[in-house]
């Protein structure tokens, strides 16, 4: 997972009033090539609200194996979309090819499954790339993935995204991302602040986002990252 900003694949898809897959990293859709610290249980939880009527409450525990660069995640969400409420389960695995170090490109590959209404509803194969600038408090992110969704048959779409993390001080990081799934969907963007916590609370996140070029309302997120 990201050292300074976690991601998935998606938050509430405000463009379609539906909830597609998240990546293994949380409410920021563009994932990075980092893994959780081996042997430490890391839990991300967040609440996202759209237009005062739709929301999601998510818990995303993850652990990295001691002997392999493999991170395993098991996500659960309670979601309200208009008058409908439902549950979503999301197992994920991410393998790291190269670690993120200053001046070097970090790379990984992840596979995430979404389970709703008693069946698997979507699959995401994603390749996150991360580059930490040498001598500067900035990290760059890029993602390219394949999303397969069930809707009266299976539909295939591409996911692409990019972003940055800018450490503005020892306790705060600015996070910005733009991402898009499929040629028929308008891009969305998120901008947030991540604050370093204390004790078991590793990070505190606040973020805002919206669809670009559309009439969709803004969505807001508050999240916590815990290490146990």
Mean pLDDT of 26-53: 90
Q: Is 55 a domain residue? A: yes
Q: Containing domain of residue 69, as a range? A: 42-227
CATH number at residue 130: 2.40.160.40
- For residues 139 and 28, give the distance between their C-alpha atoms in angstroms, rounded to a whole number: 15
CA–CA gap between residue 132 and residue 12 (Å, rounded): 28
Residue 220's Cβ-count burial label (10 Å; 0-12, 13-18, 19+) is middle
Domain for residue 8, yes or no? Answer: no
Q: Is residue 176 part of a domain?
A: yes
The reported pTM is 0.86
Whole-angstrom distance, CA of residue 30 vs CA of residue 162: 6
pLDDT band at 183 (very low <50, low <70, confident <90, very high): low
pLDDT at 173: 96
Residue 91 lies in a domain: yes
* CB-based contacts of 209-213 (< 8 A; 24+ apart in sequence): 209/11, 210/14, 211/14, 211/15, 211/186, 211/187, 212/178, 212/186, 212/187, 212/188, 213/186, 213/187
Can you tell me the distance from the alpha carbon of 50 to that of 204, in angstroms, rounded to the nearest whole number? Answer: 20
**Residue 18 or residue 206, greater confidence:** 206
R_g of the chain, CA atoms, integer Å: 16
- Asked whether residue 35 is assigned to any structural domain, the reply reads no
Mean predicted confidence (pLDDT) in 91-96: 97
In a domain, 125, yes or no: yes
pLDDT given at position 6: 30
Do the domain assignments include residue 53? yes
Phi and psi angles of residue 130, each rounded to the nearest 5 degrees, phi first: -135, 135
Q: What is the dihedral of CA 207, 34, 149, 60, to 10 degrees?
A: -60
Question: Who's near 148: CB < 8 A, 6+ residues apart?
Answer: 122, 123, 124, 154, 155, 156, 157
Domain count, the chain: 1
Residue 178 lies in a domain: yes
Average pLDDT of span 203-223: 87
């Amino acid at each position: 997972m990201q050292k300074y900003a976690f991601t998935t694949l998606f938050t509430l898809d405000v463009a379609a009033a539906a909830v597609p897959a998240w990546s293994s990293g949380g409410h920021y859709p563009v994932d990075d090539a980092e893994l959780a610290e081996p042997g430490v249980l890391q839990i991300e939880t967040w609440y996202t609200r759209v237009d005062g009527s739709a929301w999601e409450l998510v818990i995303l525990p993850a652990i990295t194996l001691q002997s392999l660069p493999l991170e395993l995640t098991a996500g659960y969400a309670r979601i309200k979309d208009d008058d409908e409420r439902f549950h979503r389960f999301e197992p994920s695995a991410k393998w790291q090819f190269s670690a993120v170090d200053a001046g070097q490109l970090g790379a990984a590959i992840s596979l995430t499954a979404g389970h709703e209404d008693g069946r698997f509803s979507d699959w995401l194969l994603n390749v996150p790339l991360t580059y930490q600038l040498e001598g500067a408090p900035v990290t760059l992110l890029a993602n390219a993935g394949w999303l397969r969704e069930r809707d009266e048959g299976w539909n295939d779409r591409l996911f692409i995204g990019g972003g940055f993390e800018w450490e503005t001080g020892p306790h705060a990081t600015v996070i910005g991302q733009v991402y898009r799934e499929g040629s028929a969907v308008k891009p969305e963007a998120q901008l947030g602040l991540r604050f370093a916590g204390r004790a078991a609370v590793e990070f505190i996140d606040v973020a805002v986002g919206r669809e670009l070029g559309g009439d969709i309302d803004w969505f807001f997120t508050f999240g916590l990252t815990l290490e146990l």
